[in-house]
Amino acid sequence: MASPHMRHDLLYGNIRLFAGTASPDLSQEISDYLGLQLCGRDIIQFTNDNLFVKLHASVRGQDCYIIQTTSIPVHRNLMELLILTQTLKLDSAGRITVVVPYMCYGRSDRKDQPRVPITARLVADMIQIAGADRYVTMDLHAGQIQGFFSIPGDVLSAYHIIKPFLVKKMDSLTRPVMMTADLGFAKNGRRYAQALNIPLAFIEKRRTDNKERPEAMAVIGDIKDRDVILIDDEVDTGGSMCEAVHIIKEAGARDIYMVFIHPVLSANSIERLTKLPVKEFVTTNTIPIEKERLAKFGNRITVLSIGPLVAEVIRRANQGRSVGAMFNE
């Protein structure tokens, strides 16, 4: 009979890390931090686009973590995540946690017009049905997406990575002001502004119909003769940010620093961004940027890694320790 004082980290066995094909560098960084090797698996795409997954060893009773972001190609990466999850479930894994740095369909979080789906809810349902017991993700586009899951999870924030970086920059900035590209991210922007003890401004914008490009409106706040830290949760086509930069410059701002958590960077967004009068771009590796595309930014971009943060969360989850304690929460 098991002792009532059994260590919690034995309930689900040892950590087993599995990497999808979407974030190989991040997966390796996490495994290096934990001093573990990535578990062997085969992921094959047949000529008919069907995917096949096979594990190299049994995971019966083990604490398994799948590291897979769901960026472009979204449907390939999402199906890979689901098939990997089901494969571990069918092999009797003790617990399965999907680590999804960027959760796809985050913008489809509500019915904001007639006859449209809530795709974020569908994605949450599929992850659960595939067999996931827990999830870990970063900065969801909409907080209510957490409520779409009926399994426990940890929604981490890049705030704990970006804030220390910005703190080091404060002395070199002229009367800095934090600015959000729209009202939707204003609450998060206020958190950064308070931590850095600088004022907050934002842009009022209007998005019409189903267009990816919004109609940017006006600046609310004083940014004249100030350095501006423009922040948002993700950059997709770059339309919002391009509009924002032009309006900021017209309002008399000095240098602009663009900060975004998820570098979706679809289509020709990089070409558009690199033409902007932005002194520095700051992002994270929730989504990998190919070296060729990254090189187009020259020395104007800094990519902060979420690897150590995610790795420590995995360690604590396995040991049954508080994740909030990492942030004094």
Catalytic residues: 205
Contact criterion met (CB below 8 Å) for 82 and 127: yes
Angle at 120 between CA 116 and CA 124, to 5 degrees: 135
In the DSSP assignment, the letter for residue 185 is: G
Asked if residue 23 lies in contact with residue 29, where contact means CB atoms within 8 angstroms, the answer is no
Cβ–Cβ < 8 Å for 111, 76: no
Q: How far is CA 240 from the centre of its chain?
A: 18
- The region that residue 292 occupies, defined by phi over 0 for left and psi between -120 and 50 for alpha, beta otherwise, is alpha
Alpha carbon separation from 156 to 66, 114, 150, 234 (Å, rounded):
16, 32, 18, 15
Question: What does DSSP say about strands 153-156 and 177-180: parallel, antiparallel, or unpaired?
Answer: unpaired
Cis peptide before 73 (omega within 30 of 0): yes
Angstrom CA distances, 182 to 71, 141, 167, 188, 232, stand at 23, 13, 23, 11, 8
Q: Say which amino acid occupies 273.
A: L
State the Cα–Cα distance between residues 75 and 68, nearest whole angstrom.
Answer: 12
Using left for φ > 0, alpha for ψ between -120 and 50, and beta otherwise, residue 92 falls in: left
Per-residue burial over 277-312, b = 16 or more CB atoms within 10 Å of its CB, e = otherwise:
ebebbbbbbbbbbeeeeeeebeebbeebbbbebbbb
